[in-house]
């Protein structure tokens, strides 16, 4: 687990791919982008509401695919008004959740 400051889940993924490139010419996008895509499963984006409370704004999956140096993402939950609602995406590597003792179907509202 890690934190990164960003305005959206997609922007967080972009930052995770871009910030290592600041290390210099010994690190390239051809290494960093697929590494991020294959090693990060989920991004949970929090935002501050007008009342000062932090709330989950979106949960996005990284299925592990890259297209033209862009990491593919899939929305799992998105905020609609006051509600966090299920989107069409699905987390990659369901076996990792099972090994950790989590019922992915139940977590996604399919129990």
pLDDT of residue 82: 87
**pTM metric for this prediction:** 0.87
Q: Cα angle vertex 110, ends 107, 111, to 5°?
A: 80
- 33-78, pLDDT tens digit by residue? 999 999 999 999 999 988 999 999 999 999 999 998 899 999 999 9
Instruction: Give the mean model confidence (pLDDT) for residues 84-94.
Output: 92
DSSP label at residue 50: T
Residue 2's contacts (CB-CB under 8 Å, 6 or more residues apart) are none
DSSP label at residue 108: T
pLDDT of residue 6: 95
The pLDDT of residue 79 is above 70: yes
Closest CA to 43 of 92, 82, 80: 92
Cα separation of 54 and 19, whole Å?
25
């Amino acid at each position: 687990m890690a934190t990164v400051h960003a305005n959206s889940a997609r922007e967080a993924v972009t930052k995770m791919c871009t910030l290592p490139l600041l290390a210099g010419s010994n690190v390239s996008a051809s290494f960093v982008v697929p590494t991020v895509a294959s090693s990060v499963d989920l991004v949970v984006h929090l935002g501050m509401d007008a009342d000062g409370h932090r709330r989950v704004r979106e949960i996005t999956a990284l299925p592990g695919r890259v297209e033209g140096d862009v990491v593919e993402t899939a929305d799992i939950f998105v905020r609609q008004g006051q509600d966090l609602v299920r989107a069409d995406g699905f987390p990659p590597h369901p076996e990792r959740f099972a090994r950790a003792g989590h019922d992915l179907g139940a977590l996604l509202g399919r129990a």
